[in-house]
């Protein structure tokens, strides 16, 4: 055990350096892409979150409100309101669930699918322009790396029990507010 501990300590220095670099790089990436999404998606008729919801419904098919919330990592109340907006704008609709009178089935309308596909095409087109400057061999690798990172982050940050989060180790003092 002491050997392992020593080794782990040795690794820690470089690991922390890497973690810091990754953190910094990811911050930048997130910022730019959030900006891009605001900028592009909001040129149309819906907000970014609304578009994510539309995407989820369009790609994965009809869904209950709760599973949509889980997929989007949103609170159920937020999901209700996001769907409200989509319904109001005619891009989604709610149907009663025949199996459970409490639940609703959410699905996209034809207009919703059309809009989603249009936005999606544009976003992908933008990625294509960006990738065009990359070495073809790197392109695939980049996606692989992102996917791996996303998977790892999903597993680690979105605590196993699906919705429950903020494990006891969260922060050290001012945790009370949201994690109490």
Which residues of the shown chain bind DNA in the complex (CB under 7 A)?
34-35, 38-39, 42, 47-50, 64-66, 73-85, 94, 97, 100-104, 166, 178, 180
Contacting a second copy within 58-87 (CB under 8 A):
72-73
45-65 per-residue burial string, b: 16 or more CB within 10 A, e: under 16? ebbebbbbbbbbbbeeeebbb
Q: Does 150 contact a second copy by CB under 8 A? A: yes
Q: Does 117 contact a second copy by CB under 8 A? A: no
Torsion of CA 144, 146, 149, 154, to 10 degrees: -110
- Shortest Å distance, C-beta 2 to DNA: 41
Largest CA distance in the chain: 63
Q: Using CB atoms within 10 A of its CB, is residue 43 exposed (0-12), middle (13-18) or buried (19+)?
A: exposed
Task: Give the binding-site size for a second copy (rule: CB under 8 A).
Answer: 76
Can you tell me the distance from the alpha carbon of 103 to that of 68, in angstroms, rounded to the nearest whole number? 12
Q: Does 142 contact a second copy by CB under 8 A? A: yes
Q: Which of 6, 103, 138, 163 binds a second copy (CB under 8 A)?
A: 138
Q: Residue 85 or 131: which CB sits closer to DNA?
A: 85
Q: Using CB atoms within 10 A of its CB, is residue 82 exposed (0-12), middle (13-18) or buried (19+)?
A: buried
61, interface contact from a second copy, DNA, none, CB < 5-8 Å by kind: none
Can you tell me the distance from the alpha carbon of 156 to that of 150, in angstroms, rounded to the nearest whole number? 10
- Shortest Å distance, C-beta 63 to DNA: 8
Number of continuous H segments (helices) and E segments (strands) in the chain: 7, 3
- Shortest Å distance, C-beta 138 to a second copy: 8
Which SS3 state, helix, strand or coil, does residue 12 take? helix
33, interface contact from a second copy, DNA, none, CB < 5-8 Å by kind: a second copy
Q: Residue 101 or 157: which CB sits closer to a second copy?
A: 157
- Shortest Å distance, C-beta 39 to DNA: 7
């Amino acid at each position: 055990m002491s050997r392992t501990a020593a080794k782990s300590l040795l690794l820690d220095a470089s690991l922390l350096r890497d973690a810091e670099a990754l953190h910094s790089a990811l911050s930048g990436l997130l910022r730019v892409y959030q900006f891009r999404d605001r900028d592009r998606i909001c040129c149309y008729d819906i907000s970014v979150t609304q578009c994510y919801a539309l995407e989820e419904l369009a790609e994965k098919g009809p869904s209950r409100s709760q599973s949509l919330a889980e997929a989007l990592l949103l609170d159920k109340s937020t999901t209700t309101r996001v769907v409200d907006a989509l319904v109001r704008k005619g891009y989604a609709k709610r149907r009663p669930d025949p199996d459970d009178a409490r639940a609703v089935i959410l699905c996209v309308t034809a207009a919703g699918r059309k809009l989603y596909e249009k936005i999606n095409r544009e976003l992908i087109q933008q990625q294509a322009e960006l990738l065009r400057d990359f070495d073809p061999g790197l392109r695939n690798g980049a996606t692989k790396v992102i996917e791996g990172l996303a998977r790892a982050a999903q597993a680690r940050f979105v605590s196993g029990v699906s919705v429950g989060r903020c494990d006891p180790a969260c922060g050290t003092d001012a945790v009370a507010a949201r994690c109490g």
